[in-house]
Structure 1
Amino acid sequence: MKKLLLAFLFLGTFISAQTHRFVYEFQFKEDATSSNSRKEPMVLDVNQDDVKFYPYIYVETDSLNKKNTGNKNLM
């Protein structure tokens, strides 16, 4: 029993397939001469293999597509 428990703990340390998701507000100016700035929610996903940076609207759209399984909306 102890060997089985150790095997699962040992295996768990090598299998780390979790995505870390950071949601934050990105503020930017469209034109360097204007004083108006825009704010947009953005997402940063960090995996073991890659990093993805995209607008939050993609997360919302993906969630809706998963909810409505027959819907094939693509942006």
Structure 2
Amino acid sequence: MKLDIRYFAWLRERVGTAAEQVETEAATVADLIAELRARDEGYAYAFSDTGAIRAAVDHELVEFDAALSGAREVAFFPPMTGG
């Protein structure tokens, strides 16, 4: 399946792009992270601490075990803080 992937804040800086389209066989967000992490050092670094990352599938905040079936977009970003 094809997914639009969006990266925000320091994740964008580490992977070197704000958005991309990927072809994936990932069943869950965790599977997608594993695929991305294996791409190169920048992705491995960006996803090295998954405790500091949040994910949204089609604009819905999800856990990493969320299914990707039928998804069109996945966004990765650091936890939001108030201010």
**TM-score under structure 1 normalisation?**
0.22
The structure with the largest helix share of the pair is 1
Higher relative contact order (CA 8 A, sep 6+): 2
**TM-score under structure 2 normalisation?**
0.21
Larger Rg belongs to: 1
